[in-house]
Amino acid sequence: LNRLPVVNYLTASIPAHFIQKMDWLLVHIDFLIDYMSTLTVEKLYNDIRMFVFSCFLAFIHLIDWCRRLYNVNFGELEPWQISAYTFCAFSVFLWLDKFFHCEEAFVVRLEKTLFRTARRLPWVKRKISVQLSKTRQSVQMELQKNDPDPEFIRHLPDRGFDKNDIMAKAERYQKAGTFDFSKGKVSGAVYNANTELVSLNAEIMKLFCWSNPLHPDIFPGIRKMEAEIVRMVCNMFNGGNNACGTVTSGGTESLLLACLAYRNRAYGRGNKDPEIVVPVSAHGAFDKAAQMLRLRIRHVPLEAGTFKVDLDKMKQMITKSTCMYGFSTKGTSVLMYRNKLYQRYQYFCQPDWPGSRNGANSASCWATMLHFGIYGYVQCTRKIIRTARYIERKLREVKGIYIFGHPRVSVVAFTSYVFDIYAFASQMGDRGWSLNLLQLPAAVHFCITMNQTQEGVAHSFIEDATAVAEALLEDPSKSNDISGAAALYGSSQTLPDRTLVNEIACAYLDACYATETKCDPDDLDGLI
């Protein structure tokens, strides 16, 4: 550079060490140009071979140096000592790897470890068993209190029942509930109790009750129905010609299969430790998928007040390991993909293991979609959102009620900082309303469906909510009057040991499948 007058003039103020580095770079570039100009295939092959051989020799020398260093430092140790030290070092390495690859904070893990250790003490374990048995007993009583027939069928009858007897028993079972979803007093659960739709689905179920989509050659109609369902839904969401999908049994299975597809795609791209980044308010099926598919899941906190996901924190959690971020009868859902490349990652191929499912659900979904059409779904959506907006607006006027954020679609979540919101839900239940309970923070939500769009339902809900809120404000002692699921949620939220919440949830599920009327604490031995 110094030989060029113009460059010398322009670089007069540049430090000398920088000029020296530039000279070094130009020399090597010049050498590279000369090398490339005389390069032949044979010369390139020989140079690569010599380079690989040199690297191999360097690796051998490194191994030999490590061997000599090891022998010098550990030559006086006996073989058993070397084995013990190696085992301890490897164990520490595995523990550190597990420690630093855990989502939970150190304080949280330490707290769980202490609680888990304390629960192993015999007298603590026995006390927990007694309390859990009481919880399960109360849940069983709550589930069975409206059962018209307290006896359970525990054994298959020697001879089959008559059709009329079966229908009579089924009708008694059907009337066991106290909440009337047809009058719009149930949050979610049943999306449309339209009698015409019920009649249509019943007729379709009769036609396809024995169909099996596993055998498209025997039941070609079901195959065509499922293909049409996927295409109609993809077009509804503007998926384009390459969009595809599959019919599943519901939203949970759709989420599980979506996570499976993303995991397999991550595996194919060399990511052997994929993780999911979701808000803490995400559907529980994501946690279920993470547990079933051996995925790490990272939960993003929500903004205080609005309870929207904190996008800045979510952005920070995305790493190179990140792999992802209808009206018919229950039992049908659609999982959509942009193209078949993504869908292939969902497939599970095992030619020696057949699988079956009922095609009647798919047929029911197909018939329902054709029954409503685009116009019907738009009208239903408009009615649902209009009703949700009305309920949100009126609840904001109720003293003591606080609405979370600004509901955009069909779910209105609210709480109270004045009275116990679980007591509110319990007393609303006494008036025939079934609301969904939430935790962390304590709250309830009302999922609006077509059943709530009936005339007078929303107005009746606001009247009852206002009356219950006023009663709780006037007499705070009524906040202690909690029963059923509200009491279960309330007690679980106050537990310092959050691992016990899982035990309470398991006790609830055990009660759902119980065919006895009492729960013995000894039944829980080995489960805690």
Q: Which of 138-142, 279-283, 350-354 has the highest mean pLDDT?
A: 279-283
pLDDT tens per residue, range 247-299: 888 888 888 888 888 888 888 888 888 888 888 888 888 888 888 888 888 88
The predicted pLDDT at position 271 comes to 85
Strands of the sheet with 322-324, listed across from one edge: 296-300, 275-279, 322-324
The predicted pLDDT at position 325 comes to 61
Q: Give the Cα separation of 98 and 92 in Å (integer).
A: 10
Q: Give the Cα separation of 254 and 95 in Å (integer).
A: 35
Strand-pair category, 296-300 with 275-279: parallel
Q: How confident is the model at residue 383 (pLDDT cuts 50, 70, 90)?
A: very high
CA 230 to the chain's CA centroid:
23
Q: How confident is the model at residue 1 (pLDDT cuts 50, 70, 90)?
A: very low
Which whole number is the average pLDDT over 333-337? 74
E strands, 329-452, are: 333-337, 402-403, 411-415, 436-438, 443-447
- Residues contacting 1, CB < 8 A, separation 6+: 7, 8, 11, 19, 22, 23, 26
Q: How confident is the model at residue 18 (pLDDT cuts 50, 70, 90)?
A: low
Residue 157 pLDDT > 80: yes
* pTM metric for this prediction: 0.68
pLDDT tens per residue, range 450-508: 999 999 999 999 999 999 999 988 887 766 665 555 555 555 555 556 666 777 777 77
Q: What angle do CA 415, 420, 423 make, to 5 degrees?
A: 105
What is the set of domains in the chain, with CATH numbers?
Answer: 5-99 (no CATH), 126-156+377-524 (3.90.1150.10), 212-357 (3.40.640.10)
Cβ atoms of 297 and 286 closer than 8 Å = yes
